[in-house]
Chains A and B, each alone.
Chain A
């Protein structure tokens, strides 16, 4: 298992898991979200090929109401 920090909280995911796997596990598939991995954007087109690594800091964000 990998240990990552997801939106500021510790989280475990399977070895070899990709960003796409993570999105699926979070039930966010098909939702409008954007992903950052260790401070770098992971474009949607690369979610499937981007593997997570131990210690990764992942941010998953969406649009909400704001001024």
Chain B
């Protein structure tokens, strides 16, 4: 018998991305909420430290006193992760992130996402790799959304991306993890953190992702479109933590049947 490993239980299990450490392994988006107060309440309940934001044109000629998302998500409290959702070419994604870097005072940690189809929002991996090369050369630290193809994941890592973020299923679908085997292949080979991004529908999906060995999970719709986003945000926080602990604990082997009951076989009264 091994002595209980106190260290395993008590030591800080931090998520390290590009040399920076985070306590929370749950990353959340800020879209689809009814207002900024609801956004903030859900994010607080999720415990997320990294939150994604989109970059869009200002509404010219509209109410100049319109509240701003950044007023509700101060950079002192959160790591704002600008993403390129909605971009369909490498050029648009690179332009968007250069604007984001200017907007966020030189921040270089970004989420790259180049889509290939407006109906499914499936990523265009060729444009994604092209954009990643340009961004890495330009000094960005790129967390990259991609398909669950292990070869593409390896190429994105070779290009210099700091985190690989394969989909579990299509963005906004809530279909959960459709190909755990591919995710395992990606996780096994990667030297950088692998985070599931997109497709999580409910807490068990997040737990499964973490049990597979993902370093984290990024989600938006699963929380924002739950009937009670704050409650779901708390559920996701616990699911990510539980999944992570189960992964670190090392699960028992699966057997069709064990013929090894949990209670003693001797001393029975009959």
Q: Which residue of A lies closest to B82 (CB)?
A: A63
A60, B58: Cβ atoms closer than 8 Å? yes
| CB of B85 within 8 Å of the partner chain | yes
Q: Which residue of B lies closest to A44 (CB)?
A: B102
| CB of B7 within 8 Å of the partner chain | no
| CB of B60 within 8 Å of the partner chain | yes
Interface string of A56-67 (1 = CB under 8 A from B): 000111111111
Cβ contact of A64, chosen from B53, B104, B220, cutoff 8 A: B53
Knowing A26-B58, A61-B58 touch, does A67 contact B83 (C-beta < 8 A)? yes
Complex CA–CA separation, A22 to B122 (angstroms): 38
| CB of A7 within 8 Å of the partner chain | yes
- How close is A64's CB to chain B, nearest CB, in angstroms? 5
A27, B64: Cβ atoms closer than 8 Å? yes
| CB of B192 within 8 Å of the partner chain | no
B39, A65: Cβ atoms closer than 8 Å? yes
The residues of B that contact A27 with a CB separation of less than 8 Å are: 64
| CB of B68 within 8 Å of the partner chain | yes
Interface string of A19-48 (1 = CB under 8 A from B): 000000011100111111001010110000
Cβ contact of A62, chosen from B86, B101, B103, B171, cutoff 8 A: B103
Knowing A44-B102, A61-B55 touch, does A66 contact B60 (C-beta < 8 A)? no
Interface residues of B, dominant DSSP: mixed
| CB of B52 within 8 Å of the partner chain | yes
Knowing A32-B70, A41-B98 touch, does A7 contact B31 (C-beta < 8 A)? no
Complex CA–CA separation, A32 to B219 (angstroms): 25
Q: How large is the interface on B (under 10, 10 to 19, 20 to 34, 35 or more residues)?
A: 35 or more
Cβ contact of B57, chosen from A7, A32, A43, cutoff 8 A: A7
| CB of B247 within 8 Å of the partner chain | no
Knowing A7-B57, A32-B103, A63-B54 touch, does A39 contact B95 (C-beta < 8 A)? yes
Q: Which residue of B lies closest to A59 (CB)?
A: B57
| CB of B108 within 8 Å of the partner chain | no
Knowing A59-B99, A62-B103 touch, does A67 contact B58 (C-beta < 8 A)? no
Complex CA–CA separation, A22 to B171 (angstroms): 37
B69, A64: Cβ atoms closer than 8 Å? yes
Interface string of B27-44 (1 = CB under 8 A from A): 001111100100100000
Knowing A8-B57, A36-B95, A60-B57 touch, does A66 contact B103 (C-beta < 8 A)? no
- How close is A61's CB to chain B, nearest CB, in angstroms? 5
Complex CA–CA separation, A28 to B63 (angstroms): 10
A33, B39: Cβ atoms closer than 8 Å? no
- How close is B63's CB to chain A, nearest CB, in angstroms? 9
Which A residues are within 8 Å of any B CB, using their own CB? Answer: 6-9, 11, 26-28, 31-36, 39, 41, 43-44, 59-67
Nearest 9 CB-CB pairs, A to B?
Answer: A66-B54, A67-B29, A67-B220, A27-B64, A34-B103, A65-B30, A34-B102, A7-B57, A63-B53
What are 6 A-B residue pairs whose CB atoms fall within 8 Å in the complex?
A: A41-B99, A43-B102, A63-B100, A65-B29, A65-B39, A66-B85
Which B residues are within 8 Å of any A CB, using their own CB? Answer: 29-33, 36, 39, 52-58, 60-61, 64, 68-70, 80, 82-83, 85-86, 95, 98-104, 171, 219-221
